Structure 1
Amino acid sequence: MSLVNNKQTARGLALEVLTEVFEQGAYSNIALNKALEGTNLSAQDKGLATELVYGTVSRKITLEWYLAHFIDDRDKLDNWVYYLLMLSLYQLLYLDKLPVHAVVNEAVELAKRSKGTDKFVNAILRKISQADLPDPASIKRKNKRLSVQYSVPVWLVQTLVAEYGDERAEKIFASLHQRNKASVRVTDTSCLDDLQAALGAERSHLSPVGLVKSHGHFAGTEAFKSGLLTIQDETSQLVAPTLQLEGHEVVLDACAAPGGKTCHMAFYMDSGKVVALDLYDHKLALIQENADRLGLSDKIETQKLDASRVHEVFGPDSFDKILVDAPCSGIGLIRRKPDIRYNKAGQDFEALKKIQLQILDSVCQTIKKGGIITYSTCTIIAKENQEVLREFLDSHPDFEQVALTHPESSIVTEGMILITPELFQTDGFFIGQLRRRF
C-alpha cells in the first residue's frame, strides 16, 4: 500500500522510509535523502523525520524485544503497522521532549488508512505508555542481553566480544548510539585557526588538519564551496600522510570513490599524479567533482577498472606508492549508517577477505622496488584487517610490514592503526602498510 499521502508529516515520511529500509533493503541514508528532497516539510520536521528514521533503525532489535511483550503474534500484523508501532515506541522510549499524547495521536492518524487499525494501534501504545516496561538487563544469556540492550545482532556481539573482550566490546556497542560528529579536513593549513574560529569548531584529536563539531552543515559554508575545506572523517584523514608523499610520485588509488583520500594525496603533488580507479562511471564522476571543486583536476587521472585486474592493465614498476582503501563490511560506519548491522552476516568476512587479498595480489605486481602500499578499511574486524595483511605477507616474501606510528598511542597496535568508535567518537578505521623489499 502506498504511503505517499503520509509525506505531509514527519512521522508519515519516516514510516515510508522505514518501510523501504526494512522491506526492500534500501540504505537508510539514501532513502531518507530522496524522501526529504520530495517534501515541503519545514526544517524542524525534516530534522524530526531524520531522527525518527535513524533512531528507529539503530534501535530496531531493542524495539522488537519490547514489542514482543505486547503483541501476541507479530506475523498477523501488516508490516507497515508493525513499523508504525516501532516508530512510535522509539519516540516513547528515547525522545523525552515529545508528549505521549502527541506520539499516540499521530500514530492513530497514520493508522486510519486501514479500517480498525487505528483502534488497535491506540490500544497497544496506550498499554505500553502506562506499563512498567521489562528490563533487558534481566536477560540471562550474555550475548542475547547485549544484543537487545544495544540493538546489535548476536553474531556481531559474538565477533566483537571475541576480539575485544567483554568490557571494551560493550563500550563499542554503547558508542554506536552516540551522535556522529561532523568533521572536515582543512586544505590550507595556514587557515586552520581562522576557520576554527569562524566555524565554531574544535581541532581534531587525531588529525592535524581536521576540525570537528558536535553537529553542523559544513557543506553549506563558503569555505567548503571555495575549497578551503572538504568533508572527511578524522580517521580517513590519517591515510594519505602514511604514504609520506614528496610530490613527484605516481600514485595509484585502487579503490578511489568518492575521492576524499584521492584528493588528499593529490594535495601533496607537484610534478606527480594520482591514478584513481573505480568500477562505476557515476563514482568516477564523484571523484572528478571533488577534484574540480578543490582545484586538483590536473593532479588526478581517473580510470574505470576493477582493482583486482590492475596488473593486467599496468605493468611492473608502474607506481611509486599505492593506496588500497579496500571494499569491506563497513562495520566501523554503523553510527552513521545504522542499517549496516542488519545487512551483514558473519560469513561475509571470509568472502570479503578473499576480495581484499585479490586486490593486494594484483596491485603489488605494479609497485616499484622500495615502494609503499597503504591498506585501509572502515571496519574493525580482524579478518578484514590484520589477518589480510598477515596472509598477504605469508604468500609474498618480497614484501614486509612497515610499522606505523601516531602521537595518540591508543590507536596503534602491532605497528598498525586501529581506531574503534568509542575511543574518539569517530568512524571505526584500520590502516596498515607494506613495502616491497626486492
Structure 2
Amino acid sequence: MDNKLKNKIKHTVRYLAVDILESVEKEGAYSNLLLNKVIQSEKLPPKDAGLLTEIVYGVIQRKMTLDYGLSGYIKDPKKQLSWVTNLLRVSAYQMVYLTKVPDHAVLFDAVEIAKAKGHAGVASYVNGVLRNVQRNGLRDWKTISNAKKRISVGASMPKWLVAYFIGKIGIEETEKMAFSLLEDPFVSVRLQSQAMSRETVLEQLQAEGYDVVPSPVSPSGIRIRGGKIVDSPLFKEGILTIQDESSQLVAPVGELEKDFLVLDSCAAPGGKTTHMASYLSASENGKVIALDMYEHKIGLINQNAERLHVSDRIETRVLDAKEAGKAFVPESFDVIYVDAPCSGLGLMRRKPDIKYVKNAQDFLDLHQEQLRILDSVSSLLKKGGRLVYSTCTLTEEENQMTVQTFIENHAEFAIVPVRSDYLDKKSFTPEGFVQIYPHDYGTDGFFISCMVKR
C-alpha cells in the first residue's frame, strides 16, 4: 500500500474506531473522553462524529455477543492480534446492527485497514471472515441452552455479573435488566427554574419543534425524544439542565428550606448541587457548600452554577470528603448529601465499559470508602437534620449494606423512608430505600436512602 493511501485510511471513521477500542481495551482509557478527544483532533463533521460514536459504543456494548458470533469463523481467537479482533468487531457490528451502512463499504475499509496495520495476508484473512458473516450472519447466541451463559453472551455481560444479579433479583429480572442496557439511552432534562411550570416548558419546547414528554419518574424532569436540546433558548438561558431522571430524585429527599446550610460532600460535576441550590434563597442565607477532591471538577461545578444562575447559593471547596469532619464546625449543617463514589453499575447503558472492568472486590473496597465518608460527615449534621446517601450503582454491598453498617456504628442516626409519588412500589426496599434498576423506567440505575440524626 502506498503511503498516500495508507495515510488517508488512518483518518477514516473505521480506522479511528479500531484505534479507540484498542486504547480502551489495552490501556483502560475512558471511551467517552477518548471519543471527544479524537472527534476534536480529527475535526470530524457531525455525521462522521455520530458514526464513530455509534460504532465505538455499539462494539463495547455488544463485545461478547460479537466475539461469540464471530467465533465460528475464527480457528484460534487467542492467537489473533488484538487490533484484528477489534477490526472484525467494528466491521461485524456495522454489517449486523447498522441498517444504513452498506456491506461493500465496510468490507472495503476493513481490507484497507488490515493492509495499513498489517499486510496482504492479514487483509485476506479479514476479508474471508467478513465474507462468511455476510453470507451466514453471526453465530446465534439464542441457541445456547444454559440460561446464565445465554444471558451473558446475548446481553454481553460477564457471566459472574449475571450470576450476581440472579442471586439478588432472580433470573427473569436479571434478563430484563441485562438486555435493557442494549437500548439507546435517551436525553433527559431537569427544570432548574421554579418560576416556570413543567407544563409551560413542555409547551414551549414543543413549539420549538422538540419531541418531548414529561418524566414518569421526576416531577421536574422532561424526556427529550427528538431534537438537540442544547440549542433551545430554554437550555441556553439556564432554565433547563441535562440530568438523568433518577438522579433528579436526590435533592428533594433533603426536604430543603430556603435558609438551610447544606453540605454536598461529593458534588462534581454539580447536577445535584444546582438542584439543591434551587430550593435555597441567598437573601435568607441559604447555601450549599460543594466539595470535590480535584480542582478541575470544582471548575465544572462553578460553570454549572453560573449557567443555572445559582452561584450566589453555592460555595465550592477542593476537599476530600473523608477530611470534611476536620474542616467544619460540628453540627453546623441542616442537611448533608453523600452521593458516594461507587462502581457505577447503574450507568452501564451510558458507559458500557463498566461491565467489563469491575469485579466483586471493588464492591467491598468501595463499601469501606463510603463508610469512611459517612463517618467523616456525620458529626457535622445538626440534630434533627437529614443525611441523604445515594449511589448510581446496583450492588447490595455499596447500598443497603453501607447504610446498615453506618447505622449500626452510629446509634444517633435512624433510617427515614424515602417518599415519592412517582415511583412504583417495586422501587422501594422493605427498609424504605429507593432502588431503581435500569429496566424499571429506562433511566440510570440509582439508590437513594435517608437518615435523620436524633
Interval of TM-score (by shorter of Structure 1 and Structure 2):
over 0.9
Q: Is 2:74 the counterpart of 1:71? A: yes
- Determine the structure 2 residue equivalent to 1:386: 400
Q: 1:281 to 1:6 in 2, by over 3 A?
A: farther
Moved more, 43-52 or 126-135: 126-135
Give the counterpart of 1:339 among 339, 343, 353. 353
CA RMSD of aligned residues (A): 1.6
Gaps of 5+ in 1: none
- Determine the structure 2 residue equivalent to 1:266: 277
1:276-287 alignment to 2 at 5 Å? Answer: 276-287=290-301
Give the counterpart of 1:202 among 213, 224, 243. 213
Q: 1:312 to 1:51 in 2, by over 3 A?
A: same
Structure 1 letter corresponding to 2:62: R
Give the counterpart of 1:321 among 324, 335, 339. 335
Q: Distance in 2 between matches of 1:338 and 1:123?
A: 29
Q: Distance in 2 between matches of 1:324 and 1:82?
A: 42
- Determine the structure 2 residue equivalent to 1:188: 193
Moved more, 211-220 or 248-257: 211-220
Percent identical among aligned pairs is: 45
Q: 1:108 to 1:18 in 2, by over 3 A?
A: same
**Partner-residue secondary structure (3-state), 2:434:** strand
Contact 1:6 1:13 in 2 (8 A): no
- Determine the structure 2 residue equivalent to 1:434: 451
Offset of 1:16 from its aligned partner?
1.9
Contact 1:324 1:374 in 2 (8 A): yes
Q: 1:98 to 1:376 in 2, by over 3 A?
A: same
Structure 2 letter corresponding to 1:178: E
Contact 2:17 2:56 in 1 (8 A): yes
Q: Is 2:316 the counterpart of 1:302? A: yes
| Residue deviations 1:130-173 (CA, integer Å, cap 9, x gap) | 12643213323332221111000112101111111000110000
- Determine the structure 1 residue equivalent to 2:125: 120
Give the counterpart of 2:175 among 163, 170, 175. 170
Q: Distance in 1 between matches of 2:297 and 2:43?
A: 29
Give the counterpart of 2:136 among 115, 127, 131. 131
Q: 1:428 to 1:320 in 2, by over 3 A?
A: same
Contact 2:214 2:221 in 1 (8 A): yes
Q: Is 2:440 the counterpart of 1:423? A: yes
Contact 1:406 1:412 in 2 (8 A): no
Offset of 1:191 from its aligned partner?
4.8
1:132-147 alignment to 2 at 5 Å? Answer: 133-147=138-152
Contact 1:380 1:428 in 2 (8 A): yes
Q: Is 2:38 the counterpart of 1:27? A: no
Q: Distance in 2 between matches of 1:166 and 1:142?
A: 9
**Partner-residue secondary structure (3-state), 1:48:** helix
Q: Is 2:163 the counterpart of 1:158? A: yes
**Partner-residue secondary structure (3-state), 2:334:** strand
Contact 2:263 2:335 in 1 (8 A): yes
Moved more, 186-195 or 384-393: 186-195
**Partner-residue secondary structure (3-state), 1:347:** helix
Moved more, 192-201 or 54-63: 192-201
Q: Distance in 1 between matches of 2:7 and 2:28?
A: 19
Offset of 1:385 from its aligned partner?
0.7
Moved more, 229-238 or 312-321: 312-321
Q: Distance in 2 between matches of 1:94 and 1:379?
A: 28
Offset of 1:7 from its aligned partner?
5.1
| Residue deviations 1:388-418 (CA, integer Å, cap 9, x gap) | 1111111111110001121223322221111
Moved more, 324-333 or 408-417: 408-417
- Determine the structure 2 residue equivalent to 1:36: 39
**Partner-residue secondary structure (3-state), 2:218:** coil
Q: Distance in 2 between matches of 1:366 and 1:180?
A: 38
Q: Runs of 4 or more off by more than 6 Å in structure 1?
A: none
Give the counterpart of 2:261 among 247, 250, 253. 250
Offset of 1:217 from its aligned partner?
2.9
Q: Is 2:418 the counterpart of 1:413? A: no
**Partner-residue secondary structure (3-state), 2:73:** coil
Q: 1:399 to 1:423 in 2, by over 3 A?
A: same
- Determine the structure 1 residue equivalent to 2:248: 237
Contact 2:189 2:224 in 1 (8 A): no
Q: Distance in 1 between matches of 2:404 and 2:200?
A: 44
TM-score normalized by structure 1? 0.96
| Residue deviations 1:220-265 (CA, integer Å, cap 9, x gap) | 3322221111111101111111111111111000000000111111
Q: Is 2:27 the counterpart of 1:17? A: no
Q: 1:382 to 1:130 in 2, by over 3 A?
A: same
Q: Distance in 2 between matches of 1:81 and 1:354?
A: 41
| Residue deviations 1:358-411 (CA, integer Å, cap 9, x gap) | 111111111111110000000011111111111111111111000112122332
Structure 2 letter corresponding to 1:350: L
**Residue correspondences, number:** 435
TM-score normalized by structure 2? 0.92
Q: 1:75 to 1:167 in 2, by over 3 A?
A: closer
Q: Distance in 1 between matches of 2:386 and 2:135?
A: 62
